[in-house]
Amino acid sequence: MLTQAKREFIEFMMGADVLRFGEFKTKSGRMSPYFVNTGNYRTGSQIAALGKFYAACIRENCGRDFTAMFGPAYKGIPLVTAAAAALSSQFGIDKPYFFNRKEAKDHGEGGNLVGYQPKDGDKVIIIEDVITAGTAVRETVPVLKAAADVQITDMFISVNRCEIGQEGQKTAVMEVKDEFGIEVHSIVTVRDIREYLADKPEYATVLKNMDHYMEQYCLF
């Protein structure tokens, strides 16, 4: 169901040129008629607003029931920072956050994690942008597990593309749940985006391309 909050988030992404329509090659190698590039957020007001959207989603699904928030490098870094700040300022939920470097630092404090240092038994949630084929999750989980014996319970993303994953039988989100036991929560889904565009005649061609793509690769 396309709620007002979802509508506002879609318009926010479009206004920031983050949700774009055209022809784009995704990380999975598919040619997609739409693309979500959180790297296009570039102002203080945008990242502040984005943090509030994520914070609302986290509060609704997890409340305070987690230890820390992790943002995978590179796009997850501003996302987890903004979400942590908004959780504190908007809802009084003050939780530590951390992120990784792509390469371990060999001087100073060393290591490849910045911010909170996870401990055995911690309940960690991941803050990311999107999941297409689940590739990024499979890269992230070993990073966290190598740091400590943590429990990774939930993952929060901007858009669930609802696309079939590596095995071809389930969506990437379903695979992440089955493989790692991680619940994935999205602020909006591709179905929400399609519903939003449906009553806008200027997006008729985009809608047709999305329907064709979703028929091929999406599972609901």
> Which one of the listed residues 6, 27, 75, 107 is annotated catalytic?
107
- List the structure tokens of 67: 């230890």
212 catalytic per annotation? no
Distance CA 37, CA 129 (A): 8
185 catalytic per annotation? no
DSSP the chain: ---HHHHHHHHHHHHTT-EEEEEEE-TTS-EEEEEE-GGG--SHHHHHHHHHHHHHHHHHHHTT--SEEEE-TTTHHHHHHHHHHHHHHHH-----EEEEEEEEE-STT-EEEEES---TT-EEEEE-SEESSSHHHHHHHHHHHHH---EEEEEEEEEE--BB-TTSSSBHHHHHHHHH-PEEEEEEEHHHHHHHHHT-GGGHHHHHHHHHHHHHHB--
> Which one of the listed residues 25, 27, 105, 212 is annotated catalytic?
105
Which positions are annotated as active-site residues? 105, 107
